[in-house]
């Protein structure tokens, strides 16, 4: 990264991804070494400029990760190690932290150092001068041995507001020692854009090295602060995919990147890679074992979902009426949601997505709308259950085939030993074309047993069901004040390795609600096999789990 005197309009913003360190510090997130290696390769393929792998020597996992990571053939990203300035009273050459960075095998390192006088006095309990020496010695030592060294000016904005001259002296110490970029950190996440913009503007004329921004999201302004800093001239933005990080998280690169590239005209990644943004977001969420946030801008399931009839009508004529960017530009897709507030245009557009034509089908269209309202009155919701809604539409049009009839089912959930899990078994009797099949199966939970028994009974007649797996299972108790007598809504996601679909069931009995959703899932798969395949996008979901229920 070349140095440039004074502020100038950035022609390209460099992306520094800290998902493997900051993201790993999120509550409920704990990447394994193998997870981190897969994430590293995915971030490199996406087009990140720098990927911070973690803190070598801080724990066995990170140490083992770097041993493997430095041998990964990265085509774009530079693997970066994180560390802190040398310890007080030591020399950089003898400091254990400096040595572990060098032993990690990386060519780029980021060192964090104190720039807030409060931390120097209260946290480190050293003199201001010694802190400056620590910054200078550490940067100088690594810069002589590595290609690039960045300085993370920890708590810089708080430090600048408390003691601007000392905060600037810390930056100059790093710059004079050879730092390639000075990263201004809003470590507490308390800044607002106008204040941050003013401070960045005051800093630029007083240092010569390029500046970067590292914003936390405690005020829900990390993305806004990062963009404000770029508008003031910073050339490197640090953040994490999906905004994972300590406390409220870090700047979400899934929002930063399209805002920079689409809204501000600042290239970050090739256009074809930007179209994989949602895919990258979902992959990281899967690795983090986190449910993707539906309303996350740009990449969430609801980011381009339209529900109100007026919205749908307008969007079908011109997407710009209610969409700020084309969903395809970030790898997402437009969705039309159906509910009791849906109008005729929503139903018709949804039918077109399913390959159904409601032209001239006034009676069927009205039946669909009436049925929808009746079902939602009972607690059904179809916004997240497209497969069930398609079956509802096909039934109204007389195009829904009945593949089997239920004769009966029974589920046994038996606790035999106090300290052992319950035993679950399901028996299903079905009839297909006059032939009766009676099947039993065990499972890890009653719903899993019922799922196993149903598919076992049907596979003799429909072998294609062997590829179907139950991917996700959600239960919600519907508000009624009835306690354990309340109705429940079950949402099931199924998949066959090529695509996924979701179905819904509602009942006061959780097994009956689950049965409804399971049957819809099976019938949807069989409908797919018996009509012309539609081009669909596979949505990443949880890994198949046999223990659901």
Q: Give yes or no: residues 98 and 53 share one domain.
A: yes
Q: Does residue 548 belong to any structural domain of this protein? A: no
- How many domains is the chain built from? 3
3-state secondary structure 208-262: CCCEEEEEECCCCCHHHHHHHHHHCCCCEEEEEHHHCCCCCCECEHHHHHHHHHH
Write out residues in the chain with pLDDT < 70, as ranges. Answer: 1-10, 339-343, 480-484, 530-549
Round to the nearest angstrom and report the end-to-end CA distance of the chain. 53
Q: What is the largest CA-CA distance in the chain?
A: 90
Q: Give yes or no: residues 67 and 208 share one domain.
A: yes
Q: Does residue 333 belong to any structural domain of this protein? A: yes
Residue-wise pLDDT tens digits, 21-40: 999 999 999 999 999 999 99
Burial of 416 (0-12, 13-18, 19+ CB in 10 A): exposed
Strands of 63-186, DSSP E: 78-84, 108-114, 148-154, 181-186
- Position 383 scores a pLDDT of 77
Phi/psi at 186 (5° precision): -95, 75
Task: Tell me how far apart the alpha carbons of residues 502 and 507 are, in angstroms, rounded to a whole number.
Answer: 17
- Position 546 scores a pLDDT of 41
Burial of 489 (0-12, 13-18, 19+ CB in 10 A): buried
Q: Give yes or no: residues 149 and 201 share one domain.
A: yes
Q: Give yes or no: residues 166 and 68 share one domain.
A: yes
Strands of 342-484, DSSP E: 405-414, 423-432, 435-443, 469-477
Q: Give yes or no: residues 215 and 146 share one domain.
A: yes
CATH number at residue 515: 3.30.160.270
- Position 343 scores a pLDDT of 66
- Position 498 scores a pLDDT of 85
Task: Tell me how far apart the alpha carbons of residues 372 and 461 are, in angstroms, rounded to a whole number.
Answer: 32
Q: Does residue 293 belong to any structural domain of this protein? A: no
Q: Give residue 321's domain range.
A: 305-380
- Position 537 scores a pLDDT of 39
Q: Give yes or no: residues 160 and 245 share one domain.
A: yes
Q: Give yes or no: residues 153 and 263 share one domain.
A: yes
The tokens 């996700």 sit on which residue? Answer: 472
Q: Give yes or no: residues 260 and 320 share one domain.
A: no
| Sign of the dihedral through C-alpha 540, 542, 544, 548 | negative
Task: Tell me how far apart the alpha carbons of residues 457 and 453 are, in angstroms, rounded to a whole number.
Answer: 6
Q: Give yes or no: residues 348 and 446 share one domain.
A: no
Q: Which of 175, 215, 166, 172 lies closest to 195 in space, CA to CA?
A: 215
Report in angstroms the alpha-carbon separations of 7 from 186, 235, 265, 298. Answer: 20, 10, 18, 30
Task: Report residue 414 as tokens.
Answer: 């038996």
Q: Does residue 282 belong to any structural domain of this protein? A: no
CATH number at residue 144: 3.20.20.70
- Position 173 scores a pLDDT of 98
Q: Does residue 289 belong to any structural domain of this protein? A: no
Residue-wise pLDDT tens digits, 38-73: 999 999 999 999 999 999 988 999 999 999 999 999
Q: Give yes or no: residues 26 and 175 share one domain.
A: yes
- Position 304 scores a pLDDT of 95
- Specify the 3-state DSSP secondary structure of 169: helix
- Position 145 scores a pLDDT of 98
- Position 373 scores a pLDDT of 84
Q: Does residue 99 belong to any structural domain of this protein? A: yes
Query: Considering 213, 243, 269, which residue would you say is the last residue of a domain?
Result: 269
Task: Tell me how far apart the alpha carbons of residues 286 and 292 are, in angstroms, rounded to a whole number.
Answer: 8
Beta-carbon-side half-sphere exposure of residue 145 (alpha carbons within 13 Å): 18
Q: Which of 528, 478, 477, 476 lies closest to 501 in space, CA to CA?
A: 528
Q: Give yes or no: residues 107 and 191 share one domain.
A: yes
- Position 339 scores a pLDDT of 67
- Position 442 scores a pLDDT of 95
Q: Does residue 253 belong to any structural domain of this protein? A: yes
Bridge partners, 427 (sequence order): 410, 440
Q: Give yes or no: residues 18 and 114 share one domain.
A: yes
Residue 173 φ/ψ region, left for φ over 0, alpha for ψ in the -120 to 50 degree band, beta for the rest = alpha
Q: Does residue 103 belong to any structural domain of this protein? A: yes
């Amino acid at each position: 990264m070349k140095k440039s005197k004074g502020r100038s309009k950035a022609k390209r913003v460099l992306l520094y991804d800290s998902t493997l360190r900051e993201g790993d510090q999120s509550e409920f997130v704990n990447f394994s070494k193998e997870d981190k290696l897969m994430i590293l390769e995915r971030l490199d393929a996406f087009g990140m400029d720098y990927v911070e792998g973690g803190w070598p020597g801080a724990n066995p996992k990170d140490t083992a990760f770097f041993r493997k990571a430095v041998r990964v053939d990265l085509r774009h990203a530079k693997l970066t190690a994180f560390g802190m300035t040398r310890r007080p009273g030591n020399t950089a050459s003898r400091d254990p932290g400096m040595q572990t960075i060098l032993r990690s095998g990386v060519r780029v390192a980021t060192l964090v150092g104190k720039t807030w006088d409060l931390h120097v006095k209260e946290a480190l309990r050293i003199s201001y001068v010694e802190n400056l020496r620590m910054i200078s010695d550490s940067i100088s030592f690594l810069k002589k041995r590595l290609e690039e060294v960045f300085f993370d000016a920890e708590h810089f904005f708080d430090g600048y507001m408390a003691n601007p001259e000392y905060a600037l002296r810390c930056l100059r110490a790093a710059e004079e020692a050879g730092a390639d970029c000075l990263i201004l950190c809003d470590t507490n996440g308390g800044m607002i854009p106008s204040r941050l913009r003013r401070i960045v503007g005051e800093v630029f004329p007083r240092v010569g090295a390029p500046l970067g921004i590292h914003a936390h999201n405690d005020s829900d302004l990390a993305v806004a602060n990062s963009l404000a800093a770029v508008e003031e001239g910073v050339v490197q933005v640090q953040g994490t995919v999906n905004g994972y990080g300590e406390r409220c998280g870090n700047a979400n690169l899934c929002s930063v990147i399209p805002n920079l590239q689409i809204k501000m005209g600042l290239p970050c990644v090739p256009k074809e890679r930007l179209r994989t943004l949602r895919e990258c977001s979902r992959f990281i969420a899967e690795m983090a074992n986190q449910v993707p946030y539906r309303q996350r801008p740009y990449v969430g399931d609801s980011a381009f979902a339209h529900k109100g009839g007026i919205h749908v009508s307008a969007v079908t004529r011109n997407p710009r009426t209610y969409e700020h960017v084309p969903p395809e530009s970030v790898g997402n897709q437009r969705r039309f949601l159906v509910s009791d507030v849906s109008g005729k245009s929503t139903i018709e557009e949804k039918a077109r997505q399913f390959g159904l034509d409601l032209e001239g089908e006034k009676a069927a269209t009205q039946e669909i709308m009436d049925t929808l309202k009746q079902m939602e009155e009972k607690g059904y919701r179809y916004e997240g259950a497209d497969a069930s809604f398609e079956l509802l539409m096909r039934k109204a049009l007389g195009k829904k085939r009945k593949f089997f009839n239920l004769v009966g089912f029974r589920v046994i959930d038996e606790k035999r030993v106090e300290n052992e899990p319950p035993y679950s078994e399901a028996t299903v009797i079905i009839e297909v074309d006059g032939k009766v099949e009676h099947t039993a199966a065990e499972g890890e939970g009653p719903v899993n047993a019922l799922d196993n028994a149903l598919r076992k009974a049907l596979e003799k007649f429909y072998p294609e069901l062997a590829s179907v797996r139950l991917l996700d299972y959600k239960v919600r108790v519907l508000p009624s004040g009835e306690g354990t007598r309340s109705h429940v809504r079950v949402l099931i996601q199924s998949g066959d390795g090529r695509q996924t679909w979701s179905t819904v069931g509602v009942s006061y009995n959780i097994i009956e609600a689950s049965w409804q959703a399971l049957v819809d899932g099976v019938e949807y798969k069989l409908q797919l096999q018996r009509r012309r395949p539609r081009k669909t996008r596979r949505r990443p979901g949880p890994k198949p789990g046999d223990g659901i229920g």
